[in-house]
Structure 1
């Protein structure tokens, strides 16, 4: 039995070699047109890949039921843009605190907070990637320029970090990265406008 968003499909699990085969077929069909898979349940248990192509290892004869939950691409995009706005504000606040700690020569606490800051920055960049690839948003010259800038700044930050020049790192974050991140609020607003115009069409 294969169910998508509460609707049973006219497909049988036994027609597939394994779970990956089944999921690929479902994603290729028009069933998911304009939708993104959020959850997969196999025999009423949540399935999440721990390693790439783990779904290949689940043979069809082990499966009685596959339930797939989806959301519309526009809903997903809307949720991500809301999160992005929160993430930018979080980065601006945390970045300022990191800079202060480095300037106070409180290196241990500064480095601890800096690692968290970097992780949030990576998450931010991943969310932008999802918006572009999964949701088809934002391919504009302004976005391309902003992505190039943030990528270059990230590389520069890594280089300064390797040299352990914490004051220069604080300057780079405060005077270059944070003002650039603040500009992303306008880009996020443009993402929202794109989603709204797609819904209106």
Structure 2
């Protein structure tokens, strides 16, 4: 039995040699066009490949049931925006902590944490950029302004970091970075609204 998104298909699992062939057929038949697979269950047990092409090694004689659950790209994008809210809170907490460590003259730990913070911010901006590019999210002045301010602030923080002026960096984090991070919440809600519009099309 092969079930896709709660609907039983007329595909016979025994007419395939292995799981890979089943997946290929499901894709070829267009069952998952414009969708992203979120869960696969084999014999009611969650399945994910431990090594590449593992599904080739799973013979259909061992399979009684296969269930594939998917979501549309827009649904996945909406789920990502909820994660982005969490990331904004992580950035705010990280910025506050780094500023405190610099003020306590714990420079080594502050710099280590600051590096982690920069990685989180890079990933965050990458995710926002991807959402925008993939879903043709419309131009918003708020969005542009926040991105521009954020970029300018980073240039300034990089210069201060190079000059090793830790107290000024703590000030920038506390008085400019934290308010700037808060503005992203509004931008994320704008993106969510745009995604709702895309979903209606």
Could you state the TM-score of these two structures normalised by the residue count of structure 2? 0.66
Q: How many residues align?
A: 194
Q: Deviations over 1:28-57 (max 9, x none)?
A: 433234533211111221112334433333
Counterpart position of 1:12:
12
Structure 2 unaligned segments of length 5 or more: list them: none
Return the index of the structure with the highest Cα Rg. 2
Matches within 5 A, 1:152-191: 167=166, 181-191=181-191
Determine whether 1:67 maps to 2:67: yes
Give 3-state SS (helix, strand or coil) of 1:70's partner: strand
Using the alignment, how far apart are the partners of 1:6 and 1:21 within structure 2? 21
CA distance in 1 between partners of 2:60 and 2:18 (Å):
5
1:132-171 to 2 correspondence within 5 Å?
136-138=134-136, 146=147, 167=166
User: Does structure 2 retain, via aligned residues, the 8 Å contact 1:41–1:66?
Assistant: yes
Is the Cα–Cα contact under 8 Å of residues 36 and 71 in structure 1 kept in the other structure?
yes
Indicate the RMSD between aligned Cα atoms, in angstroms. 4.2
**For 2:171 and 2:29, how far apart are their aligned partners in 1?**
51
Which structure 2 residues correspond to residues 11-160 of structure 1 after superposition, within 5 A? 11-107=11-107, 110=110, 113-114=113-114, 117=117, 120-121=120-121, 124=124, 127-128=127-128, 131=131, 136-138=134-136, 146=147
- In the superposition, relative to structure 1, how do residues 56 and 187 fare at CA in structure 2: closer, same or farther (>3 Å)? farther
Alpha-carbon distance change, 128 to 51 in structure 1, aligned in 2, over 3 angstroms = farther
1:112-143 alpha-carbon deviations (Å, 9 max, x no partner):
7557646644663564477468xx32456778
**Distance in 2 of aligned mates of 1:63 and 1:198:** 38
Taking structure 1 as reference, are residues 94 and 28 closer, same or farther at Cα in structure 2, changes over 3 Å only?
farther
Q: Go from structure 1 to structure 2 and tell me whether the alpha carbon gap of 1:115 and 1:46 turns closer, same or farther (over 3 Å shift).
A: farther
Contact 1:131 1:137 in 2 (8 A): yes
User: How far, CA to CA, are the matches of 1:49 and 1:199 in structure 2?
Assistant: 30
Cα 1:42–1:77 shift into 2, 3 Å: same
Secondary structure at the counterpart of residue 84 of structure 2:
helix
Which runs of no fewer than 5 residues in structure 1 stay unpaired? none
Cα deviation for residue 79 of structure 1 reads: 2.3
Relative distance call for 1:189 and 1:174 in structure 2 (3 A) is same
Alpha carbons of 1:26 and 1:102: their partners in 2 closer, same or farther (altered >3 Å)? Answer: farther
User: Partners in 2 of 1:26 and 1:144 — Cα distance?
Assistant: 41
